[in-house]
């Protein structure tokens, strides 16, 4: 990223907003359950009972600013990442097959994927973008002294020059982008990347009926048909893998784990993502 990005903010110098009473759902516990988790459960149950399908959030900046304060510790302590590592391994294995000198994550959160990328490819330039100050504040702790510049920015408007990275990727991030904005985000990936784009994201066309029903009530999760969307933008997916392709491998991976998930929701399984690879 040396000199080829117009930095809006360096996370290490940015000032995150202080927690205020509006964030209380994410910071307080009720009967040893985080208040936002209890609220989400009650909301989901009510919607199901009444047959209501709530509209998806059009802008999730506020949601992730608030939730970001607790997200890193919540997910690190839950055993969730032990299962999510299956998908991270899929990403790293694919990167090993490709030639590249630079890679970035669109929506890097507290830095879980980009730290792994830097550890695996130490000579490669690795960077990240995210719009949540609270997530990026935590990334300083998680990434430590590794040379990984991170920029506060929206995936729909990346502060980077054209074709500045060989590869860009996302893992469970673009499913948080509203349908009215998803084409903007995909156009930015095409603009910024020179060789490949890799997505591990949610596509309800390639999942189970059970997960499709569960996620239809979640206001922060949006399904996108990445293959069709990219084709409409003039590029084609060279690979689309679904749980039907890697489900058996996921089950074998699960057998190596010795403990369950401590979080309020169980891990959703191989059907939560598709892997889409775009060659530019």
pLDDT tens profile 73-87:
888 888 888 999 999
Whether 267 has a pLDDT exceeding 90, the answer reads: no
Cα–Cα distance between 260 and 267 in angstroms, integer?
9
Task: Report the pLDDT averaged over residues 123-130.
Answer: 97
pLDDT band (50, 70, 90) for residue 14: very low
pLDDT band (50, 70, 90) for residue 275: very high
Cα–Cα distance between 132 and 250 in angstroms, integer?
30
Whether 51 has a pLDDT exceeding 70, the answer reads: no
11-279 has which CATH code?
Answer: 3.40.50.150
pLDDT tens profile 85-96:
999 999 999 999
Cα–Cα distance between 191 and 95 in angstroms, integer?
20
Q: Can you read off the two tokens belonging to residue 28? A: 């307080």
Whether 6 has a pLDDT exceeding 50, the answer reads: no
Q: Can you read off the two tokens belonging to residue 118? A: 């830097």
Task: Report the pLDDT averaged over residues 219-227.
Answer: 93
Residue 62 confidence (pLDDT): 84
Residue extents of the structural domains in the chain: 11-279
- The vertex-38 CA angle with 37 and 43, nearest 5°, equals 100
Whether 11 has a pLDDT exceeding 70, the answer reads: no
Residue 50 confidence (pLDDT): 62
Contacts of residue 87, Cβ cutoff 8 Å, sequence gap at least 6: 171, 200, 273
* Torsion angle, alpha carbons of 12, 139, 273, 228, to 10: 0
pLDDT band (50, 70, 90) for residue 21: very low
Cα–Cα distance between 23 and 10 in angstroms, integer?
24
């Amino acid at each position: 990223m040396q000199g080829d990005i117009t930095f809006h903010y360096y996370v290490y110098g940015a000032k995150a907003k202080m927690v205020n009473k509006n964030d209380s759902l994410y910071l307080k516990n009720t009967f040893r359950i985080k208040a936002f988790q209890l609220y989400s459960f009650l909301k989901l149950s009510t919607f199901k009972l009444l047959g209501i399908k709530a509209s998806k959030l059009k802008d999730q900046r506020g949601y992730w600013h608030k939730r970001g304060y607790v997200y890193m510790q919540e997910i690190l302590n839950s055993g969730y990442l032990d299962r999510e590592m299956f998908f991270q391994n899929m990403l790293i294995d694919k990167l090993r097959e490709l030639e590249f000198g630079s890679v970035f994550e669109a929506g890097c959160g507290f830095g879980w994927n980009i730290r792994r990328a830097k550890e695996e490819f130490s000579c490669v330039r690795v960077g990240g973008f995210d719009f949540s100050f609270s997530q990026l504040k935590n990334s300083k702790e998680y990434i430590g002294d590794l040379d990984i510049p991170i920029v506060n920015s929206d995936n729909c408007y990346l502060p980077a020059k054209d074709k500045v990275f060989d590869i860009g990727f996302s893992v469970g991030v673009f499913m948080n982008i509203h349908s009215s904005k998803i084409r903007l985000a995909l156009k930015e990936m095409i603009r910024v990347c020179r060789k490949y784009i890799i997505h591990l994201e949610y596509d309800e066309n390639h999942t189970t009926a059970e997960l499709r029903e569960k996620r239809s009530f979640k206001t922060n999760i949006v399904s996108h048909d990445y293959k069709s969307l990219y084709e409409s933008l003039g590029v084609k997916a060279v690979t689309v893998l679904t749980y039907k392709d890697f489900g058996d491998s996921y089950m074998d991976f699960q057998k190596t784990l010795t403990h369950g998930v401590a979080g309020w929701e169980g891990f959703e399984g191989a059907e939560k993502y598709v892997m889409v690879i775009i060659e530019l």
